[in-house]
Copies of this chain bind each other. A is one copy, B any other.
Amino acid sequence: MDERSSGATYAASGVDQSAIGEALAALLSSVRYRPPPSHGRPVAAAGHFAGLVRIGRETIALTTDTVGTKVQLAAEVARWEEVGEDVVGVNVNDLAAVGARPSGLVDTILLERPDPSVLRAVGRGIDRGLRAAECALLGGETAVVPSIVRGMDLGGTAVGFFPRGRRPVTGAAIRPGDVILGIPSNGVHANGFTLVRKLLADSRVDVAQPGPSRRGSLAEELLRPTRIYSRAADALADRPETHGFAHLTGGGVRNLVRLHPKVAFVLDPWPTVPPIFSYLQRLGNISDEEMFQTFNMGIGFAVVVSPHRLAETRRRLGRAGAPDARPIGRVARGQGVSVPALGLEYSAYR
């Protein structure tokens, strides 16, 4: 076995994307009903980050996601605010990726047992996330189901809209020559934690030790909440030079493929990878290919923009809380996503 094939993979940690894909395809093959127009008109945006539906005089975007197994690391160290904030971030960033402005969130919390102090802390995190996204909590479901859930599952659904005159940003306008800007992430966010936890367990790592960036413990560094890109995307979504957005969530850089199937996204130069990712990669002897298709590797959100308006776009991003956005690549003729410096090529989202 060579070094690459001996390394840890997301699939071996228990998350086999192809098996999930097959099951999901089976589910979707059964759902054929299309409602009459009097119930709203779904807007086609195949494979995109949010569902869209035209309701009366508005277009609504809907997205649902959970924090996943990051919650289990939170439980181990009894820190709950970060994952509370994540439940907002994982959802509103998917709204941001279609250019929708967030309006409301409902949370779905499944619990093994109800603990007011834990939920108070989760609530503080949700509040912080809502503040960053300028979004309201519209309701939720809190179910105590010890026969189904170990510990907690923390999910949500966000609804967003398109302010008067704005159209969804789908990526359809992307063309060769466009520039790809990347906005840094705040760490691992809420993806890949089944693998992260397996790496930690296999190497018997004490998460109370200092983290690789030496700012707090390893647990604190891993738990850093998902950066919220709502304001950045909202500042660009009305501009014709903004051709596409991508939330680099589960699937890593492959998420760019979701924007346009018939152009090539060339990520060059990829910024210096933050220490937390290098640490995880060493811990599991993980290949670059696996890292870039599982984690965000330091860039949580991408903006595809016409090269003629690059400076103006960066100024807008600076005013909207993202002065650290930087060029990370370009759009070329071809297909798929590549990171030439590392010899990586991906042809599909998953």
Instruction: List residues of A whose CB falls within 8 A of some B CB.
Output: 14-16, 19-20, 22-36, 38-40, 42, 50-53, 55-58, 60, 62-66, 68-69, 71-72, 101-104, 106-111, 113-124, 126-127, 130-131, 134-153, 155, 157, 159, 161, 163-164, 194, 197
Q: Are B55 and A60 in contact (CB under 8 A)?
A: yes
Give the complex CA separation of A39 and B30 in angstroms.
Answer: 36
Q: Are A104 and B64 in contact (CB under 8 A)?
A: no
A22 contact set on B, CB distance < 8 A: 114, 116
Q: Are A104 and B53 in contact (CB under 8 A)?
A: yes
Name the residue of chain B whose CB is nearest to the CB of A71: B148
Partner of A58, one of B25, B56, B134: B56
Q: With A39-B134, A138-B52, A150-B150 known to touch, is A60 a contact of B63 (CB < 8 Å)?
A: no
A159 contact set on B, CB distance < 8 A: 53, 55, 60, 62, 159
Q: Are A136 and B23 in contact (CB under 8 A)?
A: no
Give the complex CA separation of A201 and B24 in angstroms.
Answer: 33
Of A29, A126, A138, A155, which is in contact with the most chain B CB atoms at under 10 Å from its CB? A138
Q: Are A20 and B114 in contact (CB under 8 A)?
A: yes
Give the complex CA separation of A63 and B108 in angstroms.
Answer: 10
Q: Are B23 and A115 in contact (CB under 8 A)?
A: yes
Q: Are A66 and B143 in contact (CB under 8 A)?
A: yes
Question: Closest CB-CB distance, A56 to chain B, in whole Å?
Answer: 5
Q: With A33-B130, A161-B40, A194-B147 known to touch, is A55 a contact of B110 (CB < 8 Å)?
A: no
Partner of A153, one of B64, B107, B148: B148
Q: Are A20 and B52 in contact (CB under 8 A)?
A: no
Name the residue of chain B whose CB is nearest to the CB of A51: B138
Question: Closest CB-CB distance, A176 to chain B, in whole Å?
Answer: 29
Q: Are B140 and A64 in contact (CB under 8 A)?
A: yes
Give the complex CA separation of A58 and B52 in angstroms.
Answer: 15
Q: Are B153 and A20 in contact (CB under 8 A)?
A: no
Give the complex CA separation of A109 and B113 in angstroms.
Answer: 21
Give the complex CA separation of A16 and B146 in angstroms.
Answer: 12
Partner of A31, one of B40, B53, B62, B123: B123
Give the complex CA separation of A194 and B144 in angstroms.
Answer: 10
Give the complex CA separation of A171 and B194 in angstroms.
Answer: 46
Q: Are B62 and A138 in contact (CB under 8 A)?
A: yes
Q: Are B20 and A142 in contact (CB under 8 A)?
A: yes
A14 contact set on B, CB distance < 8 A: 144, 146-147
Give the complex CA separation of A142 and B23 in angstroms.
Answer: 9
A101 contact set on B, CB distance < 8 A: 38-39
Q: Are A147 and B108 in contact (CB under 8 A)?
A: no
Q: Are B110 and A35 in contact (CB under 8 A)?
A: no
Give the complex CA separation of A126 and B161 in angstroms.
Answer: 26
A66 contact set on B, CB distance < 8 A: 108, 110, 141, 143, 145
Give the complex CA separation of A13 and B53 in angstroms.
Answer: 41
Q: Are A64 and B157 in contact (CB under 8 A)?
A: yes
